[in-house]
Amino acid sequence: MNRRDMLKAGLAAGALGLAPRLASAHAATYAPVPKGWRTYVLTTRVEPTAGANKAWIPLPTFEAPDWQRPGTVTWTGNARVAERVRDPKYGAEMLRVEWSGDQQSPMIEVVAQVQAQNRSVVPGKGNTAPLSDAERKLNLMPTTFLPTDGLVKETAEEIVRGKQGDVAKARAIYDWVVENTFRNAKTLGCGVGDITTMIRTGNLNGKCADLNALYVGLARSVGLPARDVYGIRVMPSEFGFKALGAGSEVVSKAQHCRAEVWLTGSGWTPVDPADVRKVVLEEPPTNLAMTDPKVVAARRALFGSWEGNWLAYNVAHDVKLPGSKEDPIAFFMYPQAENRAGFLDSLDPDKFKYRITARELTA
């Protein structure tokens, strides 16, 4: 199927999908709404191998008054240098660590306390203050893997053709991504988010950092401010969706990228088409049809809401880690460490080595 046929098929499927969504919505429940803050403790223990003497650990200090409140951050270890620093462009906060060259067993353990809760908005409804000019510019600009011209813009313009208003355009892009992409279990980590290659080849597959990046890039290219939000799942889903929660207290591989689009009225509006495709692939009994009640429920909810069983690190792209000799990384969602040869493999916590655990504080 060529790209133009793919566009037409996806738009048609999106329209046809409305009827089964309405018919079967009562059969499954996935409806996050704010109902109180939960307090989590996220512990990241890093003991890098292979002669690494530098590390950077993302901190869950992203602040959003209605859904995340960062708390205290403490650390212990044998580092020569350990300091909290911020990416100057996006404000992504991290702990920058250096060990002495003769340190035999480098170690740092970071403990962060964070409050989070479910969030839910009606897209385009409400009285959120306007987005500042600086924020609008930042969240419309291209990045290395998120161009806003060429094939990306051409594809987005076809998707939103005939749609009136930002809400309708944002929804059309969401439906298109849900209908045309698929989650690829073989993709390493969360993917890389190279959306031009995805569109050019027609291989619209990957994981959250690919599929939600596709949403963000398409939205930006037609004038909708949007951003990826990089974070980590910390608890099971309260609705029993196995695919949408952490499976144990060890969350070293539970990183997840979400997305937001700015809509007048509702402000930063949560969207997560990648998690819809995760439900399709992974929710028991797996490989569900788009008309399955669980898929229908997730698809309906994930345009305007998400669960508070996940913590946000940052919204940063093209991050140059301070003190690193390596090129910028596409996004910062995993611990990073560096030796003389370059970065260790951040997607392999066992060899790297790091361990992330999460627990909830209850009264």
Identity of the amino acid at 261: V
- In the structure, what pLDDT confidence band is assigned to residue 10 with cuts at 50, 70 and 90? low
Stretch 196-208: mean pLDDT: 97
Peptide bond into 353 cis (omega under 30): yes
Q: Is the pLDDT of residue 19 over 60?
A: no
pTM for this prediction: 0.92
What pLDDT, on a 0 to 100 scale, did the predictor assign at position 28?
86
Confidence of residue 15 (pLDDT cuts 50, 70, 90): very low
The pLDDT of residue 162 is 97
Residues 6+ apart with CB under 8 A from 217: 146, 147, 148, 152, 156, 195
Number of Cβ atoms within 10 Å of the Cβ of 68: 22
Higher-confidence residue of 6 and 149: namely 149
21 pLDDT band, cuts 50/70/90, is very low
Q: 251-304: per-residue pLDDT in tens?
A: 999 999 999 999 999 999 999 999 999 999 999 999 999 999 999 999 999 999
SS3 of residue 267 by DSSP: strand
Beta partners for residue 182, in sequence order: 205
- Sequence-separated (6 or more) residues with CB below 8 Å from residue 152: 146, 195, 196, 199, 217, 218, 221
**pLDDT band of 27, cuts 50, 70, 90:** low
> pLDDT digits over 72-90, tens only?
999 999 999 999 999 999 9
* H or E segment and range at residue 290: none
Predicted local distance difference test score (pLDDT) of residue 6: 54
Would you state the pLDDT for residue 322?
97
Is the pLDDT at 94 greater than 70, yes or no?
yes
- In residues, how long is the chain? 363
**164-201 tens-digit pLDDT:** 999 999 999 999 999 999 999 999 999 999 999 999 99
* Mean pLDDT, range 45-59, rounded to an integer: 97
**Which of 156, 145, 286, 278 is closest to 205 using CA atoms?**
278
User: What's residue 363's pLDDT?
Assistant: 72
What's the chain's average pLDDT? Answer: 93
Beta bridge pairs of residue 257: 230
Cβ 207 vs Cβ 190: under 8 Å = yes
Each residue's pLDDT tens digit, 107-140: 999 999 999 999 999 999 999 999 999 999 999 9
Contacts of 201 (CB under 8 A, 6+ apart): none
Burial of 256 (0-12, 13-18, 19+ CB in 10 A): buried
Given a cut of 70, whether residue 3 has pLDDT beyond it is no
